[in-house]
Homo-oligomer: A and B are copies of this chain.
Amino acid sequence: MEDLKELVQKFKKTVKVKTGKDFPTNAYEQLWGAICAVFNSWTNERAILYRKMEGIPYEWGTAVNVQAMVFGNMGDSSATGVCFSRDAGTGEDLFNGEYLINAQGEDVVAGIRTPQQITKIGSQRWAELAGVSEEERVAKFPSMEEIMPEIYQELDELQTKLENHYKDMQDMEFTVQEGKLWFLQTRNGKRTGAAMVKIAMDLFRQGVIDEKTALMRVEPNKLDELLHPIFDKEALTQAKVLTRGLPASPGAATGQIVFFADDASEWAAAKKAVIMVRIETSPEDLAGMAVAEGILTARGGMTSHAAVVARGMGKCCVSGAGALRIDYKARTVEIDGVLLKEGDYISLNGSTGEVYLGEVETKEAELSDDFAELMKLADKYTRLQVRTNADTPHDAMVARNFGAVGIGLCRTEHMFFEGEKIKAMREMILAENIEERRIALAKILPYQQEDFKGIFKAMEGLPVTVRLLDPPLHEFVPHDLKGQEEMAEAMGVSLKYIQERVESLCEHNPMLGHRGCRLGNTYPEITEMQTRAILGAALALKKEGVVTHPEIMVPLTGILREYKEQDNVIRAEAAKLFAEVGDSIDFTVGTMIEIPRAALTADRIASAAEFFSFGTNDLTQMTFGYSRDDVASFLPIYLEKKILEVDPFQVLDQKGVGQLIQMATEKGRAIRPELKCGICGEHGGEPSSVKFCHRVGLNYVSCSPFRVPIARLSAAQAALED
């Protein structure tokens, strides 16, 4: 009490100094002061900046509500509480909430006193979980329904009325003052992804909302929560957060630390759950990533190798956790002073980026019937199709089960990293001349054909877009001495030769170097081999009665003639193969649009290409002039300073990159009206980007398997928003 008095003195003094006037003692004067303060706040600097950012007109002005206070702390006939018309965690259609006798609103939130349940059933459920007997519950923690039955009755009627009025789950606050109920506030309640789906579908089935409204009620991004394992809530409260990285791929994972792909495979084979911890990952880590529960990296952003691959696999990943100090030699990782060794347990939350010490219990994802029904509803309204980015039959199957209607991007490069394939690939790259290269390619051909067979089969009857070899060759060659010695022996050449070749493949800016169709145009024999593998696989399946729709995609086109050269090579090799086999298969040839020049000259390119697929990762890189691998040095500052509102690698930049997409689609279709256009970058699974794709009239988006439901719902919402 003395403290308060002192505080009041201080405030009064400050008011005098700042305003030159004594603090008013007249209540009306105080009220007017408060009202004017709110009005004046409309022109303060922060408000101006905020309006500018959000595009809110100055003319709107602000409003002031003047309300008499009510008090829940006027004795035992007074109380205060919050309540929900449905369960915000599960979506169950059950009125619920908490209250406190003789208390004010802050007391419920502050956690000083333990609030009690409003409904009897809620109270009973709580008691069971807390291990409280029914006698004790009734005596010490009775529900409002039991001790203030009339008030409760009134409250229950009101919440029903409010939900029926707003046609959505309500989050409400109330106060009881000396036996009289005062309703303070109601708003649509926040909820979990699962609750969001259940409430929307329940309200629809209850006839409160129609199916379009049900579809619009679900935030697509929230579906993610339903598709991945999550931490047990109780367990999480006990867990210690070690550090925080980027939420690169959602889900929860717990396991033992390993640093190397080989160990991951070995430990996983021994039925151990492992978390792969790396400074950053490379294609050589794929096998390890595939068997790990989760991946944690010290470097790399939301679209780093680790992040992209993990999302593709639907595997939990936290990337760019800068606090990690990894010592590969010692097999340790230090995180802000905590030293962990190989084999120690950690847990990752890929949806928040949190890294926990030790094991934290996880729960598997379970898809409800409501979810399936929602997806069915979505398809009813969607115009934009949803395909998937998948490089393995497993990923293809997962995506198909999630409703993908084809593969929009099958990258061939990931296929090269298993077992013997990488050796043949390296031989091809390190070859000194075309003859040697052809010999190595002949070794790769059967592997590739088998890989394509698997994927085509998983997508039977649906279109599969296969992208020809894209990454710079140096990504495939061994950069370590052991690997180089191996290749020297295998190829019967000197170690020095191998090292010189590896060195000569290094580039200053590999992202802008010898890659994409620049490879196919300098080494057409690679394109020939891949064409043969793709169409050979399709022909083999045709014999087995499996229907395939291969679409061959030329990457990184920037010039019409560049595309045409590849188109010629592909069609010539196809004709040769068909003649040899005495059978043929329908296929189309098209191109990625991921170089700004390709978008600018899309009318020319469409004169030859049968489809466009916007590679928005690269297109974003080139349009902004950002390398995904290097943005970490300035992107966080750009986001903080609001130079960028969002990471353009996550959310499609509609003003710049989007302008190119729209321009290219229009120019392309002006020349070839039936031109099929899609997008296969990371943006294909991001709601606002999917909606943009719908608006500019693309035929499909393609995203990683676990984003397929999100894209489907976004596509439906886009159609409804039209």
Contacts and interface: CB of A to CB of B under 8 A. Distances in A.
Contact of A626 (B512, B625, B626, B641): B512
Nearest to A620: B597
Given A600-B659, A601-B656, A624-B595, A634 B522 contact: yes
Contact of A625 (B507, B595, B641, B642): B595
A685 to B, nearest CB: 23
Given A512-B630, A521-B638, 13 more contacts: A507-B627, A508-B511, A509-B510, A511-B625, A513-B627, A513-B633, A518-B633, A521-B641, A561-B642, A565-B641, A597-B653, A600-B623, A601-B656
* Total copies of this chain within the assembly: 2
Contacts of A507: 627, 629-630, 633
A676 to B, nearest CB: 23
Interface string A142-179: 00000000000000000000000000000000000000
A82 to B, nearest CB: 40
A622 interface: yes
A338 B634 CA distance: 49
A637 interface: yes
Contacts of A657: 597
A512 B514 contact: no
Nearest to A521: B643
A644 interface: yes
Interface string A392-431: 0000000000000000000000000000000000000000
Interface string A500-525: 00000001111111100010011000
A655 interface: yes
Determine which residue in A512, A625, A634 has the highest number of CB atoms from chain B within 10 A of its CB, and name it.
A625
B656 A600 contact: yes
A391 interface: no
A607 to B, nearest CB: 13
Interface string A556-569: 10110110010000
Interface string A442-467: 00000000000000000000000000
Contact of A514 (B595, B634, B655, B659): B634
Contacts of A559: 643-644
Contacts of A522: 633-634, 637
Nearest to A633: B514
Q: How large is the interface on A (under 10, 10 to 19, 20 to 34, 35 or more residues)?
A: 35 or more
| 9 closest residue pairs by CB, A with B | A512-B627, A509-B627, A597-B656, A513-B630, A508-B629, A514-B633, A596-B596, A507-B630, A509-B509
Nearest to A629: B508
Contact of A630 (B509, B621, B626): B509
Contact of A622 (B510, B594, B622, B644): B622
B508 A630 contact: yes
Interface in A652-678: 653, 655-657, 659-660
Contacts of A638: 518, 521, 562
A618 interface: yes
B561 A643 contact: yes
A660 B600 contact: yes
Nearest to A559: B643
Contacts of A655: 600-601, 604
Interface string A638-649: 100111100000
Contacts of A597: 623-625, 653, 656-657
Contacts of A622: 596, 622-623, 625
Nearest to A631: B513
Interface in A583-597: 594-597
A527 to B, nearest CB: 14
B512 A510 contact: no
A604 B656 CA distance: 11
Contacts of A558: 624-625, 656
A150 to B, nearest CB: 58
Contact of A512 (B518, B621, B642, B660): B621
